Amino acid sequence: MSSTTIRLAVVDDHILFRKGLRALISGFPGMEVLFEAGDGQELLERLDQGVIPDVILMDLQMPVLDGLQTVRLLRAQYPQVRSIIISMHDEPELIDSLRAEGAHGYLLKNASPEEVRGAIHSVIDNRPNSDSSRFLLTTTF
């Protein structure tokens, strides 16, 4: 892992969750949240303006453009950006689908702060998290 700051975006349609996640990440050394978005379309508009984070933490279920649709578009348009989906759902079929579509990580919304930090570092370092039972998907495609 390099000593440069990891730049992130937080995408979730629930403002309170988004603000809380931003506050959490801002407390991690070496990490900076560049912006927040309420859905995938708003995220893509920000990316098209040239504000490109290293990692996007994104809710799965959002209006307008959900996490799965957004991952597909990110894979095609911004393949250098790492994406971690955050959801309350833990069905293996869903996780497999997200992996197949290009997501780099998957966290449950009840993850601990340490799991969030570890997931971000894992997708940046391009390596699986050592505790794969708790961080469900960290493989890079």
Strands, E assignment, the chain: 6-11, 31-37, 55-59, 82-87, 105-108
Q: In the chain, count of helices (H) and strands (E)?
A: 5, 5
The domain locations on the chain are 6-125
The CA-based diameter of the chain, rounded to the nearest angstrom, is 37
Under CATH, which architecture does the 6-125 domain have?
A: 3-Layer(aba) Sandwich (3.40)
Q: Using the predicted structure, report yes or no on whether residue 73 has a pLDDT greater than 70.
A: yes
Distance CA 61, CA 101 (A): 15
What are 103-139's pLDDT values in tens digits? Answer: 999 999 999 999 999 999 999 987 444 444 334 444 3
Helix (H, G, I), strand (E, B) or coil at 122: helix
What's the whole-model pTM score? 0.87
- The arithmetic mean of pLDDT across residues 84-89, rounded, is 93
